[in-house]
Chain A
């Protein structure tokens, strides 16, 4: 059934469900994403003022992780999907062996990440595959094993499971089992939109990152912003290890910042301290960083404390040293992620903190986790499941008052 609707003037982030009919049915009043009128904490993220995005060229180019020629260059306003498109385009221009494929990538992708690439680089390098995730990943492994830089797209992280065998048993173990023969599938990068989007329900909201972090041999990356997405994606494509690159889909259109024009990579397996603080460390990655940032702002004002915020960026192999250093300094810590609390990234981070004898001695409070409940993402209940500002704020309070 084709639903014909008036397209609203405001462009809102919208997921494109897998069903092949047009569901751009966005009425002006959306009961599923409104917040209570008296809310002080749970207000929508204001992406135009958040300190996590570079709103001016100058702040983007101050980033010391960027190479000097890029820092001396210019920037351009991009949202997250445009930054990913830019990274893909730069990677393809620089290296003939980069190929891009998946379901519906040829016309630009259902989230517009591959727009214009087929026209610019040819249909041999940017192409649609049959609708088969195990086929896409298996094909990518084979292409990478024979020297291509294979960038495979899985339309939603929720649909990666048919390819789980190929990722776990093949991609992750390829270098190890080949031993001195030295072949590997480091050229493989698997991109996938992930995370809640307001109305994705069971199969357009998942964040399966911790499933991949239990597999030695894969790098699992999740950027928080357009600048990060571009640099980390270029690093993932360049990396000689197979990479799972997870793109928080809610940020595709929402997160907009000044992104450096040139080609640059950002380091993998390196966390970033986004904000220094002395009383508490908040560790997160991806979309919830904006929630954390808002909660920190309120908590610092209300409680008169100073909070450090860390973005893991690569969730495995992760930057343990950066986290431990921060917690040794602050003595308190909470980990925030969207996916289920049980055996999530928070479990590994918390366990590592208490396991490190120097850090354990510095702890003033238990390491706390703010994460999704042990439930599935019911359509009408997303805002009660994904950690919001109130939950992060309340957990900060618990850690401080302990």
Chain B
């Protein structure tokens, strides 16, 4: 039952809650599991740490190898045929827009990768091979749902409405960049789209997602008129080795947070193959250990990812909220980033093989073609159009001025501290005394924005 919190709180005006104080209340009686009396005929004592464990007189260690690997759910065959008979495909309009979104990302990736190679931006990360995981899962979320990302989720941004202009402003760190030119490229964020700004430290967003989900749950408890919302949190299989992953899944489970954890397992963390990342059955096998409902899905099957996320979202809102874990399997076709040459640690033939064998874009295209929704001509038209749009945004963003220099000092605290103001003055002074040493011309407003 949902009750406003205010009614739960007997709010004394002031109280220190010590015996003798009028507002003092004796602690509520609590029944600990360890105090439960033994049922007649029970197999023995019930340990508080594992109340449902039965005794056995057979000495037997649990061995991971004896368990079958968690299966990978698929709705669409690599040839684009629906293989889950219970499956309701998305509307044609939605399927087409999802396809275009994947296409947009893959086109933007090629352009921006080359742009970095030409030295026109400092850094870039593509998401080739993982467009399906991101676009598919984002399509199943509601607008109000809050999202935390790692960095390889451009598909999530575009599916929610991020435009080429938004991407380019951030990548070129110009004055239209919401991050005010402070973050490395690819660290997108959007308050209107309810996606938190990306930060480089891996896995830090996972416990934050649990806390954010708890906040949404509390807000709905306080005001039942707010829509029920979830948090979706993305991370790679490498990040799942961080302590923050463990902390997050555990606290999300104990606090019953409405959060869907989406792991992109693409086989590599930079150069490290999964064999050196873990020895269990991927990430999915860990979920149940935390008491979390878990599923593994084919990340190259955008429709399966969409369906699984939709269902996970429903589950996350049941029983007052609970976490769900999705492991989406894919292959990182691209290099890790522009600072990485992945052929230093894996064979080119392996990558080419994956590209040919299975790709989320190709698979959906086959499905659309079989439904006569897509064709060679449409493909050529769409590719040409999207490329043009992307290049137009690129050219505009590159021309744009950089954010004002004042942005260096703003937003560290809500208000600029006297110390920060003094340092801003110092910077302006040095620029004024040594004008030939500094070029402020590309920054909006030049050095004058450094005035208090």
- Distance of A180 Cα from B169 Cα, bound (Å): 13
**What residues on B are CB-neighbors of A170 within 8 Å?**
199, 201, 204, 208
**What residues on A are CB-neighbors of B31 within 8 Å?**
none
Please give the distance in Å from B418's CB to the nearest CB on chain A: 7
- Distance of A269 Cα from B222 Cα, bound (Å): 33
Binding-face segment, B187-195, B273-281, B342-350 = B187-195
Please give the distance in Å from B174's CB to the nearest CB on chain A: 12
Known contacts A82-B16, A130-B254, A317-B417; A178/B197 CB under 8 A: yes
Residue of A nearest to B249 (CB): A135
The answer to whether A135 and B248 touch across the interface, beta carbons within 8 angstroms, is: yes
Give the interface residue-count category, chain B.
Answer: 35 or more
Please give the distance in Å from B270's CB to the nearest CB on chain A: 19
Q: Which residues 240-278 of A have a CB within 8 angstroms of B?
A: 240-241, 261-263, 269
**What residues on B are CB-neighbors of A175 within 8 Å?**
411-414
Question: With an 8 A cutoff between CB atoms, is B215 at the interface?
Answer: yes
Known contacts A116-B24, A120-B11; A181/B191 CB under 8 A: yes
The answer to whether B243 and A134 touch across the interface, beta carbons within 8 angstroms, is: yes
The answer to whether A134 and B244 touch across the interface, beta carbons within 8 angstroms, is: yes
**What residues on B are CB-neighbors of A241 within 8 Å?**
413-414
**What residues on B are CB-neighbors of A165 within 8 Å?**
201, 204, 244
The one of B182, B212, B418 that contacts A177, using a Cβ cutoff of 8 Å: B182
**What residues on A are CB-neighbors of B50 within 8 Å?**
none
The answer to whether A141 and B183 touch across the interface, beta carbons within 8 angstroms, is: no
**What residues on B are CB-neighbors of A14 within 8 Å?**
none
**What residues on A are CB-neighbors of B187 within 8 Å?**
177
Residue of A nearest to B414 (CB): A240
A-B contact pairs, 14 of them (CB 8 A): A82-B18, A119-B28, A120-B9, A124-B218, A129-B255, A134-B207, A135-B244, A139-B208, A142-B213, A143-B215, A146-B219, A173-B199, A181-B178, A240-B414
B residues with a Cβ closer than 8 A to A are 5-6, 8-18, 23-25, 27-28, 146, 148, 177-180, 182-183, 187, 189-191, 196-197, 199-201, 204, 206-216, 218-219, 221-222, 231, 243-244, 246-248, 250-251, 254-255, 407, 411-414, 417-419
Known contacts A89-B12, A116-B15; A142/B215 CB under 8 A: yes
Known contacts A127-B255, A139-B207; A86/B14 CB under 8 A: yes
- Distance of A263 Cα from B12 Cα, bound (Å): 12
The answer to whether B14 and A145 touch across the interface, beta carbons within 8 angstroms, is: no
The one of A129, A135, A217, A240 that contacts B412, using a Cβ cutoff of 8 Å: A217
Please give the distance in Å from A253's CB to the nearest CB on chain B: 12
Known contacts A78-B16, A122-B8, A142-B209; A186/B254 CB under 8 A: no
**What residues on B are CB-neighbors of A46 within 8 Å?**
none
Question: With an 8 A cutoff between CB atoms, is A162 at the interface?
Answer: yes
